[in-house]
Each structure stands twice: as C-alpha cells, then as structure tokens.
Amino acid sequence: MSTAPAAVFTLPEIVAALHNGVEMTADESGLLFLDGRFTWAYAATLAYLDNPGTTWAEVTDRHNDLLQLWMAGKELPDSDDDRTYSREQVTGAVNWAVDKSAEVNHLGGHADDVDNFLANAVLALLVYPDATFCDVVEKSYGKAPKKVSGWLRDAA
C-alpha cells in the first residue's frame, strides 16, 4: 500500500473510500453493491458525518435519496463542501453506521463478518486508496486472504 496517511480527509475522499469499500466487500462476499446491508451503512455513514446526533429517520431519508440515484445509474453529485474530517471522526461514523445498520436491518441485530470487513475496508481505503483486498486482509486480520474470503461468503 502506498500514500502517506493524511491528517484530515475531505468528503470526496471519504465517499471514494466508502464506495470502494462497499465494492470490495460486495465482490468478496458474493453480495450485490445494492444489498441493504451496504446501502444502509453507506447512508448512515454520510448522515453521521453531517450530524453525529443524526436520527434513524434522517438516515432513512438519506438512504432513500441514495437509492434513487443508484437505481437511476447515477453517481453521487460532486461536493464542493470544504469541511474536513479527522480519521477519528470517520472511524466513529463508519463504526456507528455499520453497527446501527446491523442492529436495525439484520436478524439478530449484530454486525457480522461482512459488516466488520466493510468497516475495515473503508478505513484502510481512506488512508491507502490503492489498497487491494489482500492488503486489507493483511493489515486488519493477518490471515490468508482465502480464509477471510470464506468468512465473508459464509456470513453473506
């Protein structure tokens, strides 16, 4: 992995890491990008970054807006928002989003291997945008990529 860690991140950098993390996790788990576990976590992350006190109703509104864009084959509009976020802020948003999405949308209400890998992938891609699945596995798990891929498929 290359690229030195940034002290702060822009919204476009975060959205790129979020999008690429969902794609990576979907590819390795055999799920679709538009699977609810991903779309809800995506929407919840963005809502939390906008307002750490966000409500699930606000997340639902964000989710519905994103689904309309994605179903129409469109990308999120470019943001000229000049706010920046620390790694801690992004980590808090991603972890809250994954946990809350699992609580609301999964049977059993707990994040599983797919959810946890998504969080690890997004946070790795935030710092190392060119990270591969193998890079994320090495950094986050220290296990063989084939083993982690099996966990993801089993959890899906």
What pTM does this model have? 0.92
Q: Is residue 1 part of a domain?
A: no
Q: In degrees, to the nearest 5, what angle opens at C-alpha 102 toward C-alphas 118 and 5?
A: 30
Residue 145 included in any domain? yes
Domain that holds residue 141: 8-155
Quick check: 20 pLDDT over 80? yes
Q: How confident is the model over 91-118, as a mean pLDDT? A: 90
Q: How far is Cα of residue 33 from the mean position of the Cα atoms in its chain? A: 11
Whether pLDDT at 156 is above 90 = no
Q: Is residue 3 part of a domain?
A: no
Helices (H) and strands (E) in the chain, counts: 7, 2
Question: Is 39 part of a structural domain of the chain?
Answer: yes
Q: How many domains does the chain have?
A: 1
Is residue 2 assigned to a domain?
no
pLDDT digits over 31-55, tens only? 999 999 999 999 999 999 999 999 9
